[in-house]
A = this chain, B = another copy of it.
């Protein structure tokens, strides 16, 4: 059974592939072809460490996955989160391959934001603001620049030096937008058409009053009930709020859980990514919030495997 490392996958499987594969899985989801069970969480006693197991099957493509993620917050020499996904063939039960899952997880999250941004951001959007330049942020930028002609990228990070490193990394990758690093988030957001938030913050990372009247926000941080990054006022005044997965968001999307408790938001009134059409309003405040779900992993794991074996 073949194993594919992050590096091997990254060489062949790109953002544009992930966007196509995630779009296809959203159709499969609407066609009731996806079966996903509640993830299993095993906490390691006496530690902060957790093992997560996420199974999912696609009865249209006839593949299944089991994604295993270890989350070890106090890791120093190894990454905090380490993932691997087993791909199995549902035509005969064969276990085909294991794919390392750090790159694929970041890529599918970027692809999800790309799809939401494409449907919700104004057509002429050209200024992207990035708040938080850590783990997930890079592929979030790659997603947005795939769907809009971004001329300027404003970077803000709590640690200024890390934002500078991030600018360098984007430039090294070949991103041709004009990239500015800010030490004041107010300045970074004020002319933004699109804002990407990817932080581990426990409070809002921008102030709603600093935003343009029409802005699209992607939030991929805030994956625990006690976290928040999108300002509650933005949630309250948003024209459209889109979630990647209702069940996951209800249990993990910190600022939305809080906003619902405070009476500013109702999960059952939100739109799901799978239900977005091309006829959405692209004016006012639009928000896409993602926490992840196994079917998105299924989409990119299957897609990457096929491309690696094409």
Contact = CB atoms under 8 A, between A and B. Distances in A.
Interface of A: 1-3, 35, 37-38, 40, 42, 44-46, 49, 51, 53, 55, 57, 59, 64, 66, 68, 70-72, 75, 77-78, 81-84, 86, 88, 90, 92-95, 98, 100
Of A35, A42, A57, A82, chain B has the most CB atoms within 10 Å of the CB of A42
A59 B82 contact: no
Nearest to A33: B45
A86 B86 contact: yes
Contacts of A94: 70, 78, 82
Contacts of A51: 55, 57, 64, 88, 90, 93
A90 B49 contact: yes
A70 B77 CA distance: 35
Given A37-B42, A42-B35, A57-B51, A93 B75 contact: yes
Given A42-B64, A51-B88, A82-B93, 7 more contacts: A42-B57, A46-B59, A49-B93, A53-B66, A77-B92, A83-B95, A84-B86
B40 A40 contact: yes
18 contacts: A2-B3, A3-B3, A40-B40, A49-B93, A51-B90, A53-B53, A66-B66, A68-B88, A70-B93, A70-B95, A72-B93, A75-B92, A78-B92, A78-B94, A82-B93, A82-B94, A83-B95, A86-B98
A94 B55 CA distance: 19
A64 B42 CA distance: 10
A25 B46 CA distance: 20
Of A51, A77, A90, chain B has the most CB atoms within 10 Å of the CB of A51
Given A53-B55, A90-B44, A84 B95 contact: yes
Nearest to A35: B42
A59 B45 contact: yes
Given A37-B42, A49-B90, A53-B53, A95 B66 contact: no
B44 A57 contact: yes
A93 B78 contact: yes
Contacts of A83: 95
A51 to B, nearest CB: 6
